């Protein structure tokens, strides 16, 4: 059985800043990490591999990004992936979520055409769009289940426990399929020293658009129906005013006066 993990390298969220003049993210000097939700996807794949030894599960990590994104893929190998591919080419530059999913779809078809299951994080912490996995499933023409917290394999079907705003659902679909993972009760694993050493012996290959014979009209800036014009931080807000509620009548009177004085209430 073949499982493909879609991953992304992202800047550390607590160190990201926005250039107020250009409206772009300041990436210089900011450390990059493997997207945390991608780690939950890897954890789920490792769990499935352990629970189903008879299936001979092989886990492949695929990412699209600049050459330095190999560090994120090395982390994937440390966390249990058997091999990894980085789609890296200047022709991919400027891709929006649709063009990115087009490239990833071609990468999956070209590198792991006999996949049974694709697992991805529910979103990346830099863009937070949560669109690439869904659009990849659409382009591949396979079913998808989002916001999973646990996955089980039963013959040719996959059963997913997914979180919702009010609780959990149990959904099942035939494979091949795509699943996105939420955090749930999962705890991100720390690889052992042996895992780190073993990762250095696993295959990690950089693949170009030409290697995959990708139609250039489907990737990059020219193939992107959307473009980011500007990124900006929301304006800071003041702390507001707190009314002591020990005396409810006095507090209500003070609140009424405040609303009148600030023209929030007209009586």
Distances (CA, A) of 90 to 188, 216, 226: 33, 11, 19
The per-residue pLDDT for range 64-106, each reduced to its tens digit, is: 998 989 999 999 999 999 999 999 999 988 888 989 999 999 9
146 and 71 housed in the same domain: yes
Q: What are residue 238's phi and psi, to 5 degrees?
A: -75, 165
130 burial type by CB count under 10 A (0-12 exposed, 13-18 middle, 19+ buried): middle
- Number of domains forming the structure of the chain: 2
193 and 105 housed in the same domain: yes
Between 227 and 207, name the one with better pLDDT.
207
207 and 245 housed in the same domain: no
- Assign 11 a pLDDT band (cuts: 50, 70, 90): confident
153 and 191 housed in the same domain: yes
The per-residue pLDDT for range 18-34, each reduced to its tens digit, is: 666 665 666 666 678 88
31 and 79 housed in the same domain: yes
pLDDT exceeds 70 at position 210: yes
Q: Is residue 228 part of a domain?
A: no
Q: Is residue 229 part of a domain?
A: no
Between 261 and 145, name the one with better pLDDT.
145
248 and 215 housed in the same domain: no
In the numeric block, the tokens 């052992």 are attached to 192
pLDDT exceeds 90 at position 12: no
Domain residue limits at 243: 237-267
213 and 88 housed in the same domain: yes
97 and 129 housed in the same domain: yes
257 and 198 housed in the same domain: no
121 and 171 housed in the same domain: yes
46 and 135 housed in the same domain: yes
The per-residue pLDDT for range 40-63, each reduced to its tens digit, is: 999 999 999 999 999 999 999 999
Please report the DSSP string for the chain in residue order.
Answer: -EEEEE--EEE-GGG-EE-TTT-SEE-TT--EEE-HHHHHHHHHHHHHHHH-GGG--EEEEEEES-GGGHHHHHHHHHTT-SEEEEE--GGGTT--HHHHHHHHHHHHHHH-TT-SEEEEES--TTT----HHHHHHHHHT--EEEEEEEEEEETTEEEEEEE-SSSEEEEEEESSEEEEE--TT-------HHHHHHHTTS-EEEE-TTTTT--GGGSSGGG-S-------PPPP---------SSHHHHHHHHHHHHHHTTS---
CA distance 108 to 131: 17
What's the whole-number mean pLDDT along residues 240-260?
Answer: 87
């Amino acid at each position: 059985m073949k499982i493909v993990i879609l991953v992304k390298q992202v800047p550390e969220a607590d160190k990201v800043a926005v250039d107020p003049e250009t409206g772009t993210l300041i990436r210089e000097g900011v450390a990059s990490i493997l997207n945390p939700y991608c780690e939950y996807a890897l954890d789920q794949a490792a769990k499935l591999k352990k629970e189903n030894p008879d299936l001979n599960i092989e886990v492949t990590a695929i990412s699209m990004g600049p050459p330095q994104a190999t560090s994120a893929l090395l982390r994937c190998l440390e966390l249990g992936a058997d091999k990894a591919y980085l789609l890296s080419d200047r022709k991919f530059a400027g891709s929006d979520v649709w063009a990115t999913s087009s490239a990833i779809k071609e990468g999956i078809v070209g590198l792991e055409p006999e996949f049974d299951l694709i697992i991805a994080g529910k979103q990346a912490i830099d863009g937070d769009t949560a669109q690439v996995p869904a659009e990849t499933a659409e382009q591949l023409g396979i079913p998808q289940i989002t916001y999973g917290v646990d996955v089980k394999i039963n013959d040719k079907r996959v059963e997913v426990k997914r979180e919702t705003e009010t609780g959990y659902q149990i959904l099942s679909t035939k494979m091949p399929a795509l699943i996105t993972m939420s955090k749930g009760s999962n705890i991100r694993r720390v690889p052992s020293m042996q895992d780190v050493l073993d990762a250095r012996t696993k295959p990690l290959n950089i693949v170009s658009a030409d290697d995959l014979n990708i139609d250039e009209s489907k990737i990059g800036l020219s193939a992107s129906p959307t473009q980011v014009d500007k990124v900006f931080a929301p304006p800071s807000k003041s702390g507001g005013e707190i009314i002591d509620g020990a005396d409810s009548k006095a507090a209500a009177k003070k609140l009424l006066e405040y609303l009148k004085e600030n023209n929030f209430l007209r009586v």
